[in-house]
Amino acid sequence: MFQVQGLVKSYGPLRAVDGVSFTVAKGELYGLLGPNGAGKTTIMSMLSGLLAPDEGRILFDGIDLAGEPLKVKAQLGVVPQEPALYENLSARENLSFWGGLYGLSGAPLKAAVDRVLELVGLTDRAKDPVKQYSGGMKRRINLALGLVHGPRAVLMDEPTVGIDPQARLNILEAVKQVAASGTTVIYTTHYLEEVEQLCDRIAIMDHGKILAEGTLDELKRRVGGRDIVTVRGSFDSAAVMPRFEALPGVQVTSVEPGRLVLSVEGSGRGAVDLLSRVLADGLSIDGISIQPPSLNTLFLNLTGRELRD
């Protein structure tokens, strides 16, 4: 459904998106995972036709977005990161306006509004002005606005940022239902557990590039059953690095003053062996953390830093 080819977007010297390509099949829930500043929102802006790429192109069902933007936009739903609502209108009035903007009217519009209110669990508050809603409720209505016209594909840009766990759960549940109904979803987040829970395929991004892409299992396999061991202490990282590299099954991923990140073979056993050696060598250690294979360890393995750094 979506074919993204060689997208590039620069802001002055900063290359916010640097040659990104991916495809998303019909009915797929595709996750873009990366820390803040990775370029996720810029990609979403380009996918929704709000921002023109410097290079590359976006095809939706074979239609070039740049060539026929209104035709493509009519089939998309957009859920922006920050709720974009008319606060002095009610949820129903907001939904009716946005539905009407996409050409719905009369009974079909009313039915669509009722459907999405039900989906996000706000039917009983539909007549209240949005300004009376909690942050979580605003997020839910923000999601509903992107769905009211029944789009074939929805672009969701970090729809759960800054809300309480209960509201987040509601939104994730709604996203699952949307995907289950056959709607294609592109979902950006920096929460690992969200993509693990939701997405069929995941692209891991940093500094405007896709570092890895695949299903959750495929990505975990890329870590290769290796633990990520982070060693912190008052030692000269550069000096001790060769000692770790010389150990069997150990790869040094990142070297910083007083901090080494190592990829260790052996699913738990290897990390324990490494720990014994480190202690035996008499290094001044402040702390050691061991992370089993996961998307975070993959990200750490790929970038040398954690997703939340």
Partner 1 sequence: MRLLVHLVAKDLLRKMRSPLGLIAVLCFPLLFAGMIALAFGHGDSIPKVRMLVANEDDGLLANGVASVFTSQQASKFFDGKTVTTAEGRALMEQGKASALLTIPKGFTKDVLDGKPVTLRLLRNPSEGILPEIAEQTTGALTDILDGGRRVFDKPLADLRPLLDDDGKAPADADIVAISLAVKRAIEGMSNLVFPPAIALESEMFDNVKAAPQPDEHEKGDAPSSIFLLVLPGLAVYGLFLVADQGMRDVMTERTLGTLRRQLAGPIAPESIILGKAVYTAVLAGMAIVVIGGVGAAVLSSPVSIPAFLLLSCALVLAVTGTTAAIYGVARTERQASTLGNMIFLAMGFLGGGFIRVEGLPPAVRGIAPFTPLYWGTQGYRALLENGAGVRGVATHVGVLALMGIVFLGIGVAGLRRTARRGASA
What Cα–Cα distance (Å) separates residue 207 from each residue in 23, 40, 44, 159, 263? 20, 10, 15, 21, 22
- Per the CB < 8 A criterion, the answer to whether 202 and 214 are in contact is yes
Q: Does 71 bind partner 1 (CB under 8 A)?
A: yes
CB neighbour list of residue 154: distance below 8 Å, 6 or more residues apart:
76, 77, 78, 79, 146, 147, 178, 183, 184, 185, 186
Q: In the sheet where 259-265 sits, what is the strand order?
A: 250-256, 259-265, 226-233, 285-291
- Minimum Å gap between C-beta 235 and partner 1 is 47
- Candidates 33, 48, 117, 158; binder of partner 1 (CB under 8 A) is 48
- Candidates 31, 39, 49, 270; binder of partner 1 (CB under 8 A) is 49
Torsion of CA 231, 233, 235, 238, to 10 degrees: 30
Q: Does 14 bind partner 1 (CB under 8 A)?
A: no
- Minimum Å gap between C-beta 53 and partner 1 is 12
The token pair that represents 125 in the structure block = 């508050």
103: left (phi over 0), alpha (psi -120 to 50) or beta: left
**Burial 131-158, CB ≥16 within 10 A → b, else e:** eebeebbbbbbbbbbbbbbbbbbbbbbb
Stretch that binds partner 1, among 21-29, 97-105, 112-120, 162-170 (CB under 8 A): 97-105
- Minimum Å gap between C-beta 55 and partner 1 is 17
Q: Does 107 bind partner 1 (CB under 8 A)?
A: no
Site string for partner 1, 76-95 (x = CB under 8 A): x-x-x-xxxxxxxx---x--
Q: Does 15 bind partner 1 (CB under 8 A)?
A: no
In terms of CB distance, is 11 or 268 closer to partner 1?
11
Size of the site for partner 1 (CB under 8 A): 30
In terms of CB distance, is 157 or 213 closer to partner 1?
157
Q: Does 61 bind partner 1 (CB under 8 A)?
A: no
Site residues for partner 1, 263-302, by CB under 8 A, read none
- Candidates 20, 112, 116, 145; binder of partner 1 (CB under 8 A) is 145
- Per the CB < 8 A criterion, the answer to whether 204 and 35 are in contact is no
- Per the CB < 8 A criterion, the answer to whether 26 and 34 are in contact is no
- Positions in the binding site for partner 1 (CB under 8 A): 45, 48-51, 70-71, 73-74, 76, 78, 80, 82-89, 93, 97-98, 100-103, 105, 129, 145
